[in-house]
Structure 1
Amino acid sequence: MRLFIEVPVWLGDTIMASVAVENVMTHFKGAEVVVFGSKVATEVYKAHPSVSSVEVDESKQSKNRWQWLYQKTKTLGEFDLAVSFRRQWSTRFLLWCVNARQKARYRRLDKASIHQVKRYNDFAAHVLGVALPLGDLVLPFAPHSFARPTLGLNPGATYGSAKRWYPEEFAKVAIALSSTHDIVIFGGPSEQDIALEIETLLHEAHVTNVQNLAGKTTIAQLCAYIGGLAWFITNDSGPLHVSAAYKVNTVAIFGPTMNTETHGWHNPNERIVKLDLPCQPCMKRVCPLGHHACMRGVKAKDVLDKIALLA
């Protein structure tokens, strides 16, 4: 039995799909599993014990994307099932090229506002024709062991600026907890500026027990570090779902997006900070009204109050 599984592009979506992917692999226990996807997404599965190999989608870097996808599929052999957790046109083409007896491309089966984890799992259950359990998120990395209780800050959000809380407010939270916690700032290569801004504010407040890891970690290191945190403050972004997988004490700040669909799945230690404005949720990358009130109105005290409730 050979399975071809295309995972979502983004880290957060890949982790939210992990429940469904795990169920598919368990259903076909012992099968040879090939995972295909972006470099970020496939990093999650490189160390997975049930995955035989990972194939990175480099088609966007090719001169001819469609030719690259076609040629790539011809090197992978035959499959019994090819399933994709993506909806894009490129996925339609990819599945057309893959040599598989059964093929399935992700689609929403329920128009109601439900968690994305359930959407992915419902799709997998529909493909297999069986009921599938809604378990925990799955990451194969052991949590890092910090020398002292550590607070993690995640000020970035790849999807767009509308989801980002403000650096000065992140810094205020870190300053308030710096006497009892070391501080680690996370972020991707494109988020180094905002991470540096927070680091500068902390140094100006004479907080020296801070480490800025923005742009300096692999996906495996990012997951392991977040998994070992005492507290995590984050926007609605991929690392939020990393913290949920490890059930880390988390305060998640939501502005333009729907927390009912993308909060930390099965994390009893998560608390959500969200205003109740008439313009929420707009689901836009940039505030369409220009005031960004849904995030600007959230203050450090709001986050610290949530931490006090969890402590």
Structure 2
Amino acid sequence: MRILVVLPNWLGDAVMATPAIELLAKYYENAHFTFIGSYVSIEALKHHPLCESAIVDETKKASSRLAATYKLAKQLGRFDLAITFRNQIHSSTLLRFTDTVLTVARKSWHSQLLLSHIPKIKTDQHLVQQYVELAMVNVDNFDGDIPPLKLYIQQNRFENPTLGINAGATYGSAKRWYPERFAQVAAYYKDKYDILIFGGPNEVEMAKEIEENLISLGVTNYKNIAGKTTIEELCANIAGCSLFITNDSGPMHVAAAYQVPTVAIFGPTKYKETCQWKNEKSTIVRHEMDCSPCMKRECPLKHHDCMKSITASEVIEAVKSLEL
């Protein structure tokens, strides 16, 4: 059975779609996937053993996105099932242009016009559950059991126990705890773990600040790989960590996919909807604020108290609660 899946754009959202993809593979006999998505989502999910084709969606770069979407759809051909995890007119249009009969998307004005199955999904539940509802909309015998997150990139194996530090969060500065405090936590555990500093291409300066703070605290057993890894290498390195301390971010969900013990620091986002899914050793550090969750990229009140009030000692205690 040929199944077209339009993946979410963000790394974390794409990883949170993996339980839905695993359920599609389980409930549709002889399933084979074609994935369409952003560069990062494709790089993370293209290793699925049932993936026949993985295509980076570059239609937005075309002079006419509609024409480019039509051309891509005709190149892809018809599928037995086509589903999009994006709530975008372009993805609804892509599914329609493939001439696939069974098409699935979240209910919206454009999906109502273009597609065959458009469930209204409640947003006050974990994003994993939202994606699963979409995927299982046409499955009568779904037993309700949702698996953990799943990636098929082989983990890196480090010589010594390794603490991963991820101070970045692509969505915006409001989600980011402070580099000097990440360094304080890492320094506390320097005798138990080697320290690996993560970060994307736009987070190199932040990672450098952590590095400088570690040096000032007398830490030498660290390595800074921010901006130096591919998506595949990022996932493999996170998978090899013995402990991961992170903001609410894509790498946080990668860690959950590999069951890496994790302390996640949350500020302005809806933690019940985007916390780690089914990670057996995971805990959240957050402070309830009158203004949260604001879901803003930057603190609209200019005080950032949801993150500023979280201390290094709180995060250290959260690590201890994991009983590693």
CA–CA distance in structure 2, aligned partners of residues 62 and 213 of structure 1 = 34
CA–CA distance in structure 1, aligned partners of residues 247 and 65 of structure 2 = 33
- Asked whether the 8 Å contact 1:32–1:51 carries over to 2, the reply is yes
**Residue 91 of structure 1 pairs with residue 94 of structure 2:** no
- Asked whether the 8 Å contact 2:174–2:299 carries over to 1, the reply is yes
Change (3 A) 1:116 1:223: same
CA–CA distance in structure 1, aligned partners of residues 272 and 318 of structure 2 = 18
1:286 corresponds, among 291, 294, 298, to: 298
Could you list the runs of 5+ residues in structure 2 that have no partner in the other structure? 108-118
What's 1:277 paired with? Answer: 289
What's 2:139 paired with? Answer: 128
RMSD (Å), alpha carbons: 1.5
- Asked whether the 8 Å contact 2:292–2:306 carries over to 1, the reply is yes
How much does 1:28 deviate? 2.0
Change (3 A) 1:307 1:31: closer
What's 2:110 paired with? Answer: none
CA–CA distance in structure 2, aligned partners of residues 276 and 55 of structure 1 = 41
1:150 corresponds, among 149, 157, 162, to: 162
How much does 1:109 deviate? 3.5
- Asked whether the 8 Å contact 1:23–1:133 carries over to 2, the reply is no
CA–CA distance in structure 2, aligned partners of residues 27 and 230 of structure 1 = 34
**Residue 187 of structure 1 pairs with residue 228 of structure 2:** no
How much does 1:142 deviate? 2.1
What's 1:64 paired with? Answer: 64
What's 1:170 paired with? Answer: 182
TM-score (norm 2): 0.92
Per-residue CA shift, 1:225-249, capped at 9, x if unaligned?
A: 1111111011111111111111111
What's 1:46 paired with? Answer: 46
- Asked whether the 8 Å contact 2:24–2:31 carries over to 1, the reply is no
- Asked whether the 8 Å contact 2:84–2:92 carries over to 1, the reply is no
What's 2:113 paired with? Answer: none
Per-residue CA shift, 1:79-135, capped at 9, x if unaligned?
A: 111111111122122222222121111347443621111111112111334425211
CA–CA distance in structure 2, aligned partners of residues 185 and 193 of structure 1 = 12
**Residue 260 of structure 1 pairs with residue 245 of structure 2:** no
Could you list the runs of 5+ residues in structure 1 that have no partner in the other structure? none
Change (3 A) 1:24 1:203: same
AA in 1 matched with 2:125: I
Runs of 4+ in 1 over 3 A off after TM superposition: 107-112, 127-130
CA–CA distance in structure 2, aligned partners of residues 110 and 92 of structure 1 = 16
- Asked whether the 8 Å contact 2:239–2:258 carries over to 1, the reply is yes
Equivalences for 1:210-289 in 2 at 5 Å?
A: 210-289=222-301
Change (3 A) 1:111 1:78: closer
Change (3 A) 1:198 1:134: same
AA in 2 matched with 1:211: K
